[in-house]
Structures are given as structure tokens and as C-alpha cells.
Amino acid sequence: MTSEVVNKAAKWDETFNRGDTVSLGGFYAPEALVIPAGGAPVKGPEAIGKFFKDLQSNGFAGHKIVVDSVIEDGNTLIASGKWQLNGPGENGATKQYGGNWVNVVKRNGADLQILLHTWN
């Protein structure tokens, strides 16, 4: 199961890093929530895709996910790990940001869909 989540996380990174935020929204279930650190919740694939598009338009790129843990309970998984992202720093320099993330994921047939995505 962990390898399936690792593969999905790698595809998420690849999709984000090529700037395909419409497809990125497709990783999320219709009822999904993204709760950014210190920010307002974002609901649904279209709004989530727009959230990440706005993030990229502010100079954030080079996302990298590391999966540290996967807990499975039936069709529900809880995945967690570390993330890194490059973005604007002081005086136009690039700064590396990072922290912890948690996803609650549901199995939808052969696919995995994110129900909740949050980070610090």
C-alpha cells in the first residue's frame, strides 16, 4: 500500500511542477478540502486547482513530497510525510520552504482520491 501512495505522491509532484493545476484538481475527491497552514479551507477539485495555480503565479515551484507513513483502514488511508517547495525569498532570492503534511485518502475503485490535504 505504501508504494501505491508513494507513486501517487510522485505523480502529484510531477503534475504540480509542470504547472497543470487543472489536472492537479483531479487528484481530489468532489468533497475534498485543502486546509493550508494558517489559511482558509478550500473545497472541491476546481477551487483546489485554482488555489495551487495562484500559488504558482506567486513564484512557488519545485514541489517535492516524501511519504513517511501510511495507515490503512478499509478504503480509507492516512498518509503523512514531509514536503519542500521553492518560492520567493528576500531581495528576489529563492527560498526553500518545507514542513509536514497529512492526507486523508479514499480508495475509489483502482484509484486513490484525496479527501483532506493539510500541512504546516
Model confidence over 22-44: pLDDT tens digits?
999 999 999 999 999 999 999 99
Instruction: Say if residue 69's pLDDT is above 70.
Output: yes
Q: Provide the whole-model pTM.
A: 0.93
Residue 118, judged by CB atoms within 10 A of its CB (0-12, 13-18, 19+), counts as: middle
Strand 111-119, strand 28-35: pairing: parallel
pLDDT value of residue 109: 85
pLDDT value of residue 92: 85
pLDDT band for 1, please (50, 70, 90 cuts): low
pLDDT value of residue 25: 96
pLDDT value of residue 108: 86
Q: Mean pLDDT score of the chain, rounded to an integer?
A: 95
Q: Which fold has domain 2-119?
A: Nuclear Transport Factor 2; Chain: A, (3.10.450)
- DSSP string covering 29-93: EEEEEEE-TTS--EESHHHHHHHHHHHHHTT-EEEEEEEEEEEEETTEEEEEEEEEEEEE-GGG-
pLDDT band for 17, please (50, 70, 90 cuts): very high
